[in-house]
Structure 1
Amino acid sequence: MKITKLRVTPVNIPLEKPLWWTGGHYPGTSKAIIEVETDEGLIGLGESPSVEVVQTIEAMGERLVGQDPLDIAACEAKTLPPWQIVQNTDDSSVVKAFGAIEIALWDLRGKVFGEPLYKLLGGAVRKDIPFTEYFGFRDGGEMSAHDVADYCLLMREQHGSTMFEGKLIRGDPQLEIETVKALRTALGPRDMIRLDSNMQWSVPTAIHVLREIEPFNIRNYEDPVATFEEMAVLRKHSAIPFSSHIPDIRRAVRAGVPDFIVTNFAVLGGINRAVRFIGACEAMGVGFWCYSGDAGVATAAYLHMSAAMPWITEPSQSLFRWQVGDVIENGPFRQKNNVVAVPEGPGLGVTLDRDALAFWNNHLVEHGPLDHFFDPAKPGRFRRLPLA
Structure 2
Amino acid sequence: MKITAIRATPVNIPLEAPYLWSYGSLAGFSKAIVEVETDEGLTGVGEAPSHAHAAIIETRLAPRLVGRDPIDIAGAEQVCVPSWQGVSNNIDYGLVRAFGGIEMALWDLRGKLWNRPLYDLLGGAVRKAIPVTDYFSFRGREGAFGGETTPEEVADYCLGLKETWGTTFFEGKFYTAEPGPSIRMLECLRETLGPDAMLRIDSNMAYGLATARRIARAIEPLDIRNWEDPCGSLYELKQLREHTAIPFSVHSLDLRQAVDLGVPDAVVTDIATHGGIGRTLRFVGACEQMGLDFWCYSGDSGIGSAAYLHLCAAMQHIREPNQSLFRMQPLDVIEEGPFRPRDNLVMVPEGPGLGVTLSPDRLRHCHRLFLDQGPYDKYHDPDRPGVFRRLPLS
Aligned equivalent of 1:208: 214
Distance in 2, matches of 1:371 and 1:212, equals 33
- Taking the TM superposition and a 5 Å limit, the aligned residue runs for 1:190-205 are 190-205=196-211
Distance 1:372 1:348, change over 3 A: same
Return the letter of the residue paired with 1:139.
G
Question: Is this contact kept in 1: 2:118–2:352, CA < 8 A?
Answer: yes
Distance in 1, matches of 2:348 and 2:132, equals 12
Query: Does 1:239 pair with 2:249?
Result: no
Per-residue deviation, 1:380: 5.0
Per-residue deviation, 1:284: 0.2
Aligned equivalent of 1:16: 16
Distance in 2, matches of 1:225 and 1:376, equals 23
Give per-residue Cα distances to partners, 1:320-345, cap 9 Å, x unaligned. 11112110003111101101100111
Distance in 1, matches of 2:383 and 2:21, equals 16
Question: Is this contact kept in 1: 2:168–2:343, CA < 8 A?
Answer: yes
Question: Is this contact kept in 1: 2:205–2:391, CA < 8 A?
Answer: no
Aligned equivalent of 1:118: 119
- Taking the TM superposition and a 5 Å limit, the aligned residue runs for 1:1-388 are 1-58=1-58, 59-140=60-141, 141-375=147-381, 380-382=386-388, 387-388=393-394
Count of residue correspondences: 388
Distance in 2, matches of 1:260 and 1:90, equals 24
Distance 1:22 1:378, change over 3 A: closer
Distance in 2, matches of 1:41 and 1:221, equals 46
Distance in 1, matches of 2:378 and 2:119, equals 33
Per-residue deviation, 1:87: 3.2
Question: Is this contact kept in 2: 1:153–1:186, CA < 8 A?
Answer: yes
Per-residue deviation, 1:377: 7.1
Per-residue deviation, 1:382: 3.5
Distance in 1, matches of 2:244 and 2:387, equals 36
Distance in 1, matches of 2:61 and 2:204, equals 32
Distance in 2, matches of 1:186 and 1:19, equals 21
Give the SS at the match of 1:87.
Answer: helix
Distance 1:94 1:348, change over 3 A: same
Distance 1:376 1:387, change over 3 A: closer
Distance in 2, matches of 1:237 and 1:381, equals 34
Distance 1:222 1:75, change over 3 A: same
Per-residue deviation, 1:176: 1.5
Per-residue deviation, 1:175: 1.2
Per-residue deviation, 1:79: 1.0
Give the SS at the match of 1:175.
Answer: helix
Distance in 2, matches of 1:305 and 1:139, equals 33
Distance in 2, matches of 1:277 and 1:386, equals 29
Give per-residue Cα distances to partners, 1:201-238, cap 9 Å, x unaligned. 11011000011100111000000000010011100000
Question: Is this contact kept in 2: 1:180–1:216, CA < 8 A?
Answer: yes
Give per-residue Cα distances to partners, 1:4-47, cap 9 Å, x unaligned. 00000000011111111111111111000000000000001110
Question: Is this contact kept in 2: 1:26–1:372, CA < 8 A?
Answer: yes
Per-residue deviation, 1:384: 6.3
Per-residue deviation, 1:200: 0.7
Give the SS at the match of 1:261.
Answer: strand
Distance in 2, matches of 1:359 and 1:92, equals 29
Distance in 2, matches of 1:160 and 1:95, equals 38
Question: Is this contact kept in 1: 2:128–2:347, CA < 8 A?
Answer: yes
Per-residue deviation, 1:381: 4.6
Return the letter of the residue paired with 2:282.
R
Distance in 2, matches of 1:207 and 1:83, equals 35
Question: Is this contact kept in 1: 2:336–2:357, CA < 8 A?
Answer: no
Give the SS at the match of 1:88.
Answer: helix
Question: Is this contact kept in 2: 1:3–1:39, CA < 8 A?
Answer: yes
RMSD of aligned C-alpha atoms? 1.3
Per-residue deviation, 1:62: 1.4
Distance 1:377 1:239, change over 3 A: closer
Give the SS at the match of 2:90.
Answer: coil
Distance in 1, matches of 2:390 and 2:86, equals 35
Question: Is this contact kept in 2: 1:24–1:385, CA < 8 A?
Answer: no
Question: Is this contact kept in 2: 1:20–1:170, CA < 8 A?
Answer: no
Return the letter of the residue paired with 2:21.
W
Give the SS at the match of 1:199.
Answer: coil
Give per-residue Cα distances to partners, 1:162-206, cap 9 Å, x unaligned. 000000323221112111111111111111000000011110110
Distance in 2, matches of 1:255 and 1:386, equals 21
Give the SS at the match of 2:89.
Answer: coil
Distance 1:304 1:167, change over 3 A: same
Distance 1:189 1:55, change over 3 A: same
Distance in 1, matches of 2:86 and 2:3, equals 27
Between stretches 309-318 and 78-87, larger displacement belongs to 78-87
Give the SS at the match of 2:357.
Answer: coil
